[in-house]
Amino acid sequence: METQTWHNWAHCAGASPRRFATPKSVAEVSAEVARAASEGLHVKCIGAGHSFTSVAVTDGVMISLDNLRGITSAVPVSPSGALVTVLAGTRLYELNPALWDLGLAMVNLGDIDAQSIAGAISTGTHGTGARFGGLANQIRSLQLVLADGTVADCSAEENPELFHASRLGLGAVGIIVSLTLHCAPAYMLRAVEAPARLGETLANLDEHVGSVDHFEFYWFPHTDRILTKHNTRLPGDTPPDPVPALRAYIDDELLSNTVFEGVNRIATRFPAAIPQINKLTARVLGARTYTDRSYRVFASPRRVRFREMEYAVPAEALADTLREIDRWITDSDFTVAFPVEVRFAAADDIWLSTANGRETAYIAVHQYHRRDHREYFDAVETIARAVDGRPHWGKLHSRTAEDLRPTYRHFDEFRSARDKYDPGQVFDNDYLRRVLG
Ligand SMILES: Cc1cc2nc3c(=O)[nH]c(=O)nc-3n(C[C@H](O)[C@H](O)[C@H](O)COP(=O)(O)OP(=O)(O)OC[C@H]3O[C@@H](n4cnc5c(N)ncnc54)[C@H](O)[C@@H]3O)c2cc1C
In ligand 1, the atom with minimum distance to the C-alpha of 111 is 8
- Hey, is 20 helix, strand or coil? strand
How many angstroms separate the alpha carbon of residue 122 from the centre of ligand 1?
7
Rounded to whole angstroms, the Cα distance separating 34 from 230 reads: 49
Q: Is 44 close to ligand 1, i.e. is its CB under 6 Å away?
A: yes
Q: Is 118 close to ligand 1, i.e. is its CB under 6 Å away?
A: yes
Q: Is 125 close to ligand 1, i.e. is its CB under 6 Å away?
A: yes
CA nearest neighbour of 367 among 297, 254, 274, 281: 274
Q: Report CA Rg, the chain.
A: 21
- Over the range 284-304, which residues count as b (16 or more CB within 10 Å of their CB) and which as e? ebeeeebbbbbbbbbbeebeb
* All structural domains of the chain: 71-186 (3.30.465.10), 187-391 (3.30.70.2520)
Rounded to whole angstroms, the Cα distance separating 338 from 176 reads: 34
The H or E element containing residue 202 is: helix 198-203
The H or E element containing residue 72 is: strand 71-76
312-337: average pLDDT: 95
- Hey, is 89 helix, strand or coil? coil
Residue pair 409/356 in contact (Cβ under 8 Å)? The answer is yes
| pLDDT per position as a tens digit, 16-71 | 999 999 999 999 999 999 999 999 999 999 999 999 999 999 999 999 999 999 99
In ligand 1, the atom with minimum distance to the C-alpha of 144 is 42
Which residue has the least CA distance to atom 34 on ligand 1? Answer: 119
How many angstroms separate the alpha carbon of residue 10 from the centre of ligand 1?
12
Q: Is 391 close to ligand 1, i.e. is its CB under 6 Å away?
A: no
Question: Which phi and psi angles does 56 have, rounded to 5°?
Answer: -100, 5
| pLDDT per position as a tens digit, 140-158 | 999 999 999 999 999 999 9
- pLDDT of 160 over the 70 cut: yes
Residue pair 58/101 in contact (Cβ under 8 Å)? The answer is no
Rounded to whole angstroms, the Cα distance separating 189 from 213 reads: 9
CA nearest neighbour of 394 among 53, 137, 135, 66: 53
- pLDDT of 263 over the 90 cut: no
| pLDDT per position as a tens digit, 333-379 | 899 988 999 999 999 999 999 999 999 999 999 999 888 899 999 99
Neighbouring residues of 362: CB distance < 8 A, sequence distance ≥ 6: 126, 128, 310, 311, 312, 313, 341, 342, 343, 344, 345, 354, 392
How many angstroms separate the alpha carbon of residue 310 from the centre of ligand 1?
13
- Return the pLDDT at 1: 46
